[in-house]
Amino acid sequence: MKHNFQFDNVDTALPVLMGSLLSAEQFDSRAGNTRELRHIGITLNRPWEREITLESRKANIAAQIVETMWVLAGRSDVAGLAPYLPRAVDFSDDGRTWRSGYGRRLRNFNGVDQLAFVAETLRTNPGSRQAVINLWDPTVDSTPGKDVACNNWLSFSSRHGALDLHVGIRSNDAMWGWSGINAFEWSVLLEVVAGLAGLEIGSLHFSTTSFHLYEQHWAKAGRIAGDRLPMLPTESPAFNATMMDVNEFDALVRQWFRLEERIRTGEVVDVEAFSEPMMQSWLRVLQWYWSGDETFLEPLVGTRLYRAALVGLAPAGEPQEPVKVPDGDPFLDHVNALHADKHAAYGDSWKRRGEPGILGNIARKVDRIDSGKDTSDETQADTAQDLMVYLAKYRCWLMGQSAVGWDEGNPLQVAEVLEAVPVIEHVPPLYLDEDLGILERATTRREKLEIVDRMLEQSMALARSLWLG
């Protein structure tokens, strides 16, 4: 049987792949009767045509969009997915996070932002063979749990100005996994990295050990295998990375999620003000999804995205109550409440003297931590928490130098920054004084942001440890 497939896009792939799976060998898996193709390759030559427009598939385009953005944002929280994927909590060991979520591993794998790494590597050396992202973490995935990484390895390569992405997968369900989210999310990642690196989009290739289909999906797979391809509409709005680096990209992603929440909870939002066309088009889909009003889709008429919305799962139709998940991080709740009180009392005094004044505040806190001593008016735990907040404010200030309308220092904005910092179980070696010296000598915003993020991880680990103690 053929084990290497080439297609233009997901639409042309699905009927062939489902037909091949239905005639494949059966085996008994933990999920029951399963048909499986082993050690197969699938190549999509036009991966930007990622939307499924086959009526028989009934894909949830809103869920695909939000989960993809969730991954790009580096998130692992169930709360971000639950309104679109109500069963998300079923795949969480603690009811709050996906322990093997790709977002955290993509954006913060033991302190490494792998998206930033591959984008910068390919921007400076397009022919590099080292633009690799690892999604399998043996310290987590080798232990039992509800969530074990299925997609394990991403390798980017560029020749003749076009960027390809090779995805290594140990186990891939054709219905829920590959066509449900993987082909969509990795095609977006390819498009984003290509844009940030200044390259064209090439092909998307999957190498899969077990490509399978559960018995509960065999009837649907038969309908897909017999489906006729529609007259293909035009392409959807493309990602525009003009003059954008990873930090600007992250600012857009955070802005996008603020608008997503407002749309989901029933607010009227003018998405025209959102500057990036691909993400803006996705906000239009969410406006339609939560209201059921097709007029929100009118600017997308004629695109693949428009058809995917109309032939996919029916929209929710009205704002819904958030799916309840366990309470958040008590430590961050404490810090955010403390900062909100101080912000109400002191306002914007922290940035009144500009960058030198902000760095001065940070330096004073670093000196107190280096002393290792409590004072009559401030404990080491207080100092570490204040340093966290000052660093988060400084990060907001740095982002605000290019982001129009950025609300610098606002408690909600600072809380977003702190929530993105990875939780480190043990206090790492502290190099705060050394990093502060590097920060004071840094000349570019990118350098400053990298150092601030490093100091944030150290100060949060210390503050959390002292607070718990």
In 3D space, the residue among 155, 109, 153 whose CA is nearest the CA of residue 131 turns out to be 155
Task: Catalytic residue, from 52, 66, 78, 150: name it.
Answer: 150
Listed in sequence order, the residues at least 6 apart from 75 whose beta carbon sits closer than 8 Å to its beta carbon are 101, 103, 104
Distances (CA, A) of 281 to 66, 101, 273, 288: 12, 25, 12, 11
Q: Alpha-carbon distance 180 to 184, whole Å?
A: 8
Q: What is the DSSP letter of 97?
A: B
Q: What is the DSSP letter of 87?
A: G
> Which residue is listed with tokens 């960058």?
355
3-class SS at 44?
A: strand
Q: Alpha-carbon distance 246 to 103, whole Å?
A: 15
| Segment (H or E) for 19 | helix 10-22
- Which token pair is 463? 């503050």
**Runs of H (alpha helix) within 59-209:** 61-72, 102-107, 114-124, 138-141, 183-197
Number of Cβ atoms within 10 Å of the Cβ of 19? 15
Report whether 183 contacts 204 (CB < 8 A): yes
Question: Across the strands, what pairs with 354?
Answer: none
CA atoms within 13 Å, Cβ hemisphere of 106: 23
Q: Is 150 a catalytic residue?
A: yes
**Runs of H (alpha helix) within 228-276:** 246-264
In 3D space, the residue among 11, 45, 49, 12 whose CA is nearest the CA of residue 303 turns out to be 49
Catalytic sites, residue numbers: 150
